[in-house]
Structure 1
Amino acid sequence: MARKMKDSGIEWIGEIPEGWEIKRLGAILQERNEVNNPIQTTSILSLTNNRGVIPYSEKGNQGNKAKDDLTGYKIAHIGDIVLNSMNVIIGSVGLSNYYGAVSPVYYMLFPRNNIETNIQYYNYLFQTTAFQQSLRGYGNGILEIRMRIQMQKLKTVLLPVPTFLEQSNITVYLDASLSKLNILLSKTRSSIEEYKKLKQAVITQAVTKGVRGERGMKDSGVEWIGEIPKEWRETQLRHCATIKSGITLGKSYRKDTVLIERPYLRVANVQGGYVDLNDLATIEVTPDEDLKYRLHSGDVLMTEGGDRDKLGRGCVWHGEIEPCLHQNHVFAVQTNETILLPEFLEYLTASDVGRSYFDITAIKTTNLACTSSSKVLAFTIPLPPVEEQIEIVSFIKKRSLELNKLIMKKELLVQELESYKKSLIYEVVTGKREV
């Protein structure tokens, strides 16, 4: 028989079991306001949206150096809920399995009464989108996702309070259920990466070895190209293409200058294999600039800078929007189609040949990189006859379509599993699903 429910009186919580109570957060949890002064630990912790609380050293190359002076940092204990006062609305909250120093913008919460409070239950409650969204309006700030929530306000947030036994049962149930779901998610994500690697291998094999089966080969003389068919040649891109830079933003004009508004492409619009037109910016230019920086169907768009793995990525512009300009951080490469097809160049930039070349020749900072028009034109490429380029492009398109369908299917499964995880946690921690 289904247990009796009652209205909690709180919109985001909804109905709860009759035996549950509603209390303010401050009556259940208290803040650990322990400052790392004098220095108690040099172990720095970081809070991430997808991995929770982790050692700063495991955060990866984020381009941010940890502070040397830790005297202003707070202390997090094992078992504390760590909450980012400025980012909790977008999910920056998690249970700490470590002892260490954390940023002053974090709050550490622990039970007021260990006999009545299972901290893991409240960690699960705080993971729900409903709880996070309920905090909108509590913060102070200009940007909604960067609103600092004062502890005095956070203490007033109303939370469901099951019995300690129910909290423990809920925690055990969710631990087991989410463990199975996370294993499935991990396998699905690994499968997606394997399909992506296979797609990359298919492209690289096709643009360097062709699609005509066994044949005589020769050394290209380029390490990252390797052997190519005897009938092919290798050449620098400058011998079969020209390159054009785009318009520089922020230019000032005289008041009497005649200007026209045009859409233009930024680095963010140039994705691997396609142009993303969902967020298209516009710019006012002179008629002469409009003609000078206008894209033409068949141009291969290549990025000048950005993340290292995306540097030099290319895609063919098919005149999706006419007229359209491009920013100076996006190169427009126009190939001589009698010797080099735009689509073949696109696949070359996506292959290991392109990835290796642009990574080796890039000017690199911590996690960003940039190239130049001269380096793009110096790109040494394997060059089959145009007739064979047509065959290769057709083959890659067909195989990529097949693999993209499999990848999309797996990505949809990931979305469904993540959605199910969130709904499961919410239903269980608010008592709508009995365990």
Structure 2
Amino acid sequence: MSLVGKHGYKETAVGWVPEDWRCEQLGGYLTLLTGAPFKSELFSSDGGIPLIRIRDLLRGFSETGYVGEYDDRYLVNAGDVLVGMDGEFHVVRWKGSPALLNQRVLKISEKPGHSDVGFLFFLVASVIGKIQDGISATTVKHLSTKDLQNLTAAIPPLPEQQKIAAVLTAVDGKLDVIARQIEATQALKQGLMQTLFSQGVANWPSVSLQEVAEVRTGVAKGKKGLKEPIELPYLRVANVQDGHIDLTEVKTITVEAAQVGRYALQSGDVLMTEGGDFDKLGRGDVWEGQISPCLHQNHVFAVRPAPSKLNSYYLAALAASDYGRQYFLSCAKRTTNLASINSSQLKAFPVLLPPLDEQVRIADIVAAANARIEILSTKKAHYQTLKRGLMKKLLTGEWRVKLDSPTGTA
């Protein structure tokens, strides 16, 4: 819907907004506090008050404590609005325990009588991209307090700010509930697998993966001089997630027509990633032929079990369990933040091999947990889309909230 020329709206530097809204720099509506340069020699891993650094913003907790003296004004409580001043400029409401505001983290507060801190949280989150776009590309982007203070935005009257914040906060509350449900289901799944496979270590035979499955490597990008080239969809590391295959974005790759059979996936193949973060080793899921034909990249292994010996879904669960991850970590090549395995190490993976009916029973238990996680993830995506739409409509005034006050705007 276009607001251009609409009755009750006016043209401003940020577009058409309601006539009773202001178009001003944010400096008059927020109070900013930058974190203190606490002494690193007083950092502690087992004591003190938590210290909030940029890495802690999204996860909502800190593993670093501070054991020195501090000024109370740097104390952050749950609900306070924080912004990371380097990198992606994440805007969050702190969800952890009381903690200290470290340097390069910014705390945003309202100006009483002029602004609502809940509204400022959503407003800053929506406009911070303008600052990022205006900063030249460097290794790390840096945010200053002036960047925020000088940013021009549409500001509704205080009662409308508060109502907009209440609407959006309600959606955030729903997202928080769903996130906790997903986390609890994932923990339950890991607990179930831990119990099932711990019992199996003592009772089931173990064979190397190559005895009961074929490990297939994928196609490499960038090959030149291809004969009879053909372009087909293929799966990358980004498509292979823990417990599901993400087909949101499937890219294509050019291969020789004669090589399609060599790299094409079959229904029942277990996809595993070659490497990534430590906790990603062994992750994967079963390919069910959602796209045909479909190839796989050389950083994604396709493991093709012998159906009479090994159930694909059981193998995927075993590889993702603590048992599987401990094996992969024990033989992986490691760098500072990453780890990887090669095909020989994967082929040597010691597979716990109960009877097929027991494999199916275990696979069904894990599948039930995965299905619950998938339902919750879909629900989460719905509310995230809803939130984005509401922010766009409410923060521009295209949709007006109904105020409880008789003097409010309908």
TM-score normalised to structure 2 length:
0.66
Superposed, 1:255-294 pairs within 5 Å as 257-294=227-264
SS in 2 for 1:334: strand
Query: Partner of 2:47 in structure 1?
Result: none
Amino acid at match of 1:227: A
Change (3 A) 1:160 1:390: closer
1:202 maps to what in 2? 192
- Does structure 2 conserve the Cα–Cα contact (< 8 Å) formed by 1:15 and 1:432? no
CA distance in 1, matches of 2:102, 2:364: 56
- Call closer, same or farther: CA 1:153–1:258 in 2, change over 3 Å: same
Per-residue CA distance 1:37-70 (angstroms, 9 max, x = gap): xx89669964479659987948xxxxxxxxxxxx
Distance 1:299 1:138, change over 3 A: closer
When residues 238 and 119 of structure 1 are mapped into structure 2, their CA distance, relative to the original with a 3 A threshold, is farther
- Determine which of 288, 306, 309 is the counterpart of 1:336: 306
TM-superposed CA distance for 1:118, in Å, is 2.8
Residues 260-319 of structure 1 show CA distances to partners (whole Å, capped at 9, x for unaligned) of 112111111112333222211111122333332222233221111012222112322233
Amino acid aligned to 1:127: F
Counterpart residue number, 2:119: 125
Answer yes or no: is 1:364 the counterpart of 2:325: no
Name the structure 2 match of 1:347: 317
For residues 122 and 98 of structure 1, do their structure 2 counterparts lie closer, same or farther at Cα, with a shift above 3 Å needed? Answer: farther
Confirm or deny: 8 A CA contact 1:298 1:316 kept in the other structure.
yes
Tell me which amino acid in the other structure corresponds to 1:265.
L
Aligned to 1:233: 205
CA distance in 2 between partners of 1:149 and 1:27 (Å): 18
The residue number in structure 1 matching 2:403 is 433
Worse-superposed segment, 200-209 or 42-51:
42-51
Residues 70-101 of structure 1 deviation map (CA, whole Å, 9 limit, x = unaligned): xxxxxx9779986567878x853779985543
Is there any run of 5+ residues in structure 1 with no aligned partner, and where?
1-5, 59-75, 112-116, 210-224
> Do 1:208 and 1:382's aligned partners in 2 also have CA atoms closer than 8 Å?
no
TM-score (ref. length: structure 1): 0.63
Distance 1:94 1:401 in 2: 30
What is the SS of the residue equivalent to 1:292?
Answer: helix
Q: Per-residue displacement from partner, 1:10-50 (whole Å, max 9, x unpaired)?
A: 6789548x6x8664334556888x999xx896699644796
3-state SS in 1 of match to 2:308: coil
2:186 equivalent to 1:192? no
Q: 1:74-223 residue pairs with structure 2 within 5 A?
A: 92=91, 98=100, 100-102=102-104, 117-118=111-112, 121=115, 123-128=117-122, 132-133=126-127, 136=130, 139-140=133-134, 151=146, 155=150, 157-160=152-155, 189-206=179-196
Q: Paired residue for 1:62?
A: none
1:294–1:427 distance in 2 versus 1, CA, 3 Å? closer
Q: Relative to structure 1, is the Cα distance of residues 119 and 78 closer, same or farther in structure 2, using a 3 angstrom cutoff?
A: farther
Code of the residue aligned with 2:245 in structure 1: it is V
**Counterparts in 2 of 1:358 and 1:295: CA distance versus 1, 3 Å:** same
Cα distance 1:98–1:240, how it changes in 2: closer, same or farther (>3 A)? closer
Post-superposition CA distance 1:321-377 (Å, at most 9, x none): 222221111111122222212222122223332233223332333332211212212
Aligned to 2:103, the other structure's residue is in SS state strand
Please list, as runs of the form range in 1=range in 2, the aligned pairs for 1:415-434 lying within 5 A after superposition: 433-434=403-404
SS at match of 1:226: helix
**How many matched pairs?**
370
User: Per the alignment, in what secondary structure is the counterpart of residue 288 of structure 1?
Assistant: helix
Could you tell me which runs of 5 or more consecutive residues in structure 2 were left unpaired when the two chains were aligned. 1-7, 44-50, 66-72, 406-410
What is the match of residue 313 of structure 1?
283
**How far 1:195 moved relative to its partner?**
2.2
In the TM superposition, what is the alpha-carbon distance from 1:392 to its structure 2 partner?
4.1
> 2-side partners of 1:359 and 1:410: how far apart?
33
Residue pair 2:209, 2:348 contacting (<8 A) in 1 also: yes
Partner of 2:26: 25
Q: Distance in 2 between the 1:139 and 1:405 partners?
A: 34
Partners in 1 of 2:268 and 2:213 — Cα distance?
Answer: 12
Whole-Å Cα distance in 2 between the matches of residues 54 and 353 of structure 1? 28
User: Structure 1: which amino acid aligns with 2:183?
Assistant: E
